[in-house]
Amino acid sequence: MSKEGCLIVISGPSGTGKGTVCNALLDRHAEIAYSISATTRLPRSGEKDGVNYYFLTKPVFEKMIRDGELLEWAEVYKNYYGTPLKKIQERLTAGQDILLEIDPQGAMNVKEKFPDGIYIYILPPSMAELEQRIRGRGTDSEESICCRLRAAADEIAAADHYQYVVVNDAVPRAVSKINAILMAEHCRADRNLTFIHSLSRQERK
């Protein structure tokens, strides 16, 4: 029923598979637009500029901060990450759902501006499984792995600021749970007030 665009924010510690979950969700929902984040970190193998991230230099990113062109931004693991604002505003106004995959610090900044968004936190089945996934990627140095593992406990503690938590023990199951969340959110009465009021004004035949 809902005709208004929803802002969907998904977060989780490094290694939870949130990127894989988001991609699977987008494959199922062609109507959801993915908000591409900007970052100053270097691309990983296979990543493309304008597809996975907008890969920017620090001076360019800092100019966007000064000019107010970011919905949110944060410094994570010595790199900047942020969400360009203009496209999000245009798509939400047009009634399109937007998916953001961002860290908890950025998500809380977004929540201040979009408190009616849908905030979902992806959890690992266990900390041992999380470490195995991070090491299994083969893309991070030992120093980076240790840093991410130390940060994981603090990041997981941020989950209580979200509306929903989803354990990613299997991607299809996690996506099904998120799909159910989105369906319920779109059926909320306060997201459908225009439709409700139009029905209440119609004359009975």
User: In angstroms, rounded to a whole number, what is the distance separating the alpha carbons of residues 177 and 173?
Assistant: 6
Q: Find out whether 55 and 49 touch, Cβ atoms under 8 Å.
A: yes
Domain residue extents for the chain = 7-35+96-201
Tell me the pTM: 0.81
Cβ atoms of 175 and 20 closer than 8 Å:
no
Residue 2 has pLDDT above 60, yes or no: no
- Total Cβ atoms within 10 A of residue 86: 10
Strands (E), 79-163: 79-84, 98-101, 118-123
pLDDT digits (tens, 9 = 90+) for 132-153: 777 776 666 777 777 777 778 7
| Position with higher pLDDT, 15 vs 39 | 39
In one letter, which amino acid is 148? R
Section 38-66 average pLDDT? 94
Answer yes or no: is pLDDT of 8 > 80. Answer: yes
Give the pLDDT of residue 25.
96
CATH of span 7-35+96-201: 3.40.50.300
